[in-house]
């Protein structure tokens, strides 16, 4: 379930309709409404999940969002569509077979069809790219480069396994009032593979580090997740800033792969500052179900990714209108 940074290529797409953007709060919320086959969730489900957020929202304050206007499911939940807020993600160009060295590339277009070439930096990058297989495996968080002339984002890329992959572009266009967006597309890689069935796990051993998560997800209410990192049985107190934080958490809802990316609670790290052995996150699961968590952290100049699987129990506010059952797996 691991991968390293690599991607690139070029692509075009037609202009799509401008979609409404609603305001979002900054509390960490695990959302979901995108079927693996590409289906859109019912409008009632989307209404229950409008409290979703994404990594770029952190830079815009922690106040709660006001009531969102009526919207489609694609508008109401982030990371579920290739178009939102008047911006479009082109079809992604990438190798189609396992082991073929090539490029992964795409463009972001505005409502006129013009490629976007200027972005607002968030977490020290103009754009963050998340790639993950439909079963939650082969997670990668990478940062392609932008060709300022063509507006094409690209990075060297090679697939380790076959399957259907979701590609998420997380960015904010430059300009006052520009929306923070997470747009998505799908890439199919031919070949046989064995699908992974995520099972609940609170601990991961990665590159000699033991990473564990404490705390519960309860649908409809906020809770705290505390992640602890040790090496050789000793607490790690030398966590280094990575992309302006001591840890970055991505959460995907099993079965629909809606995207969320935030970083740890607390002030932004100062130059030369280290932290550890714990990182805390505020978490609110919108519905009961299983959630896949991926933590990026940096020690001794190297970035490592730990993975967890947590089940969210049904809370008092999650039952009733807008509540949806757990997706039926893969």
Question: Which DSSP symbol is given to 321?
Answer: T
Based on the fold, state whether residues 160 and 47 are members of the same structural domain: yes
Based on the fold, state whether residues 252 and 163 are members of the same structural domain: no
- Residue that terminates a domain, selected from 189, 224, 251: 189
Based on the fold, state whether residues 54 and 164 are members of the same structural domain: yes
Is 28 within the bounds of a domain? no
Is 34 within the bounds of a domain? no
pLDDT surpasses 70 at 260: no
Is 240 within the bounds of a domain? yes
Is 48 within the bounds of a domain? yes
* Of 1, 45, 32, 73, the residue nearest 255 (C-alpha): 32
CB hemisphere CA count around 35 (13 angstroms): 9
> Domain tally for the chain?
2
Contact (CB, 8 A) for 171 and 119: yes
Domain that holds residue 285: 203-313
Element (H, E) at 76: helix 73-76
The pTM assigned to this predicted structure is: 0.74
Based on the fold, state whether residues 75 and 136 are members of the same structural domain: yes
Based on the fold, state whether residues 255 and 151 are members of the same structural domain: no
Q: What is the mean pLDDT of residues 263-288?
A: 84
Contact (CB, 8 A) for 283 and 224: yes
Q: Is 205 left (phi over 0), alpha (psi -120 to 50) or beta?
A: beta
Q: What is the mean pLDDT of residues 266-280?
A: 90
Q: What is the mean pLDDT of residues 90-110?
A: 97
The CATH number of whichever domain residue 135 belongs to comes to 2.60.40.10
Is 152 within the bounds of a domain? yes
The reported pLDDT for the residue numbered 289 is: 86
The CATH number of whichever domain residue 222 belongs to comes to 2.60.40.1940
Based on the fold, state whether residues 94 and 58 are members of the same structural domain: yes
Based on the fold, state whether residues 180 and 118 are members of the same structural domain: yes
**Residues 187-226 pLDDT 10s:** 999 999 898 999 999 999 999 999 999 999 888 777 889 9
């Amino acid at each position: 379930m691991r991968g390293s940074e690599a991607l690139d290529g070029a692509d075009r797409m037609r202009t799509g309709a401008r979609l409404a953007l609603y305001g979002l709060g900054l509390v960490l919320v695990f959302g979901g409404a995108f079927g693996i086959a590409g289906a859109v969730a019912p409008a009632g489900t989307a209404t229950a999940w409008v409290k979703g957020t994404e990594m770029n929202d952190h830079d815009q304050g922690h106040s709660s969002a006001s009531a969102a206007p009526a919207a489609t499911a694609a508008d109401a939940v982030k990371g579920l569509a290739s178009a939102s807020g008047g911006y479009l993600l082109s079809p992604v160009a990438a190798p189609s077979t396992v082991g073929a060295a090539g490029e992964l590339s795409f463009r972001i277009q505005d409502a006129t069809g013009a490629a976007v070439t200027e972005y607002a930096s968030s977490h020290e990058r103009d754009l963050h790219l998340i790639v993950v297989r439909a079963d939650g495996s082969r997670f990668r968080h990478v940062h392609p480069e932008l060709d300022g002339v063509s507006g094409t984002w690209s990075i060297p890329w090679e697939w380790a396994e076959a399957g259907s992959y979701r590609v998420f572009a997380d960015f904010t266009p430059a300009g006052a009032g520009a929306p923070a967006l997470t747009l998505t597309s799908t890439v199919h890689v031919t070949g046989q593979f064995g699908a992974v069935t995520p099972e609940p796990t609170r601990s991961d051993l990665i590159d000699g580090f033991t990473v564990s998560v404490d705390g519960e997800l309860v649908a409809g209410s906020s809770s705290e997740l505390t992640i602890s990192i040790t090496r050789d049985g000793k607490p790690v107190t030398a966590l280094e800033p990575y992309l302006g934080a001591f840890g970055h958490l991505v959460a995907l809802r099993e079965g629909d792969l809606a995207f969320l990316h935030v970083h740890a609670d607390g002030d932004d790290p100062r130059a030369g500052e280290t932290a550890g052995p714990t990182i805390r996150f505020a978490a609110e699961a919108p519905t009961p179900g299983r959630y896949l968590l991926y933590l990026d952290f940096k020690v001794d100049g190297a970035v490592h990714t730990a993975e967890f699987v947590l089940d969210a129990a049904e809370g008092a506010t999650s039952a009733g209108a807008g509540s949806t059952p757990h997706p039926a797996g893969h």
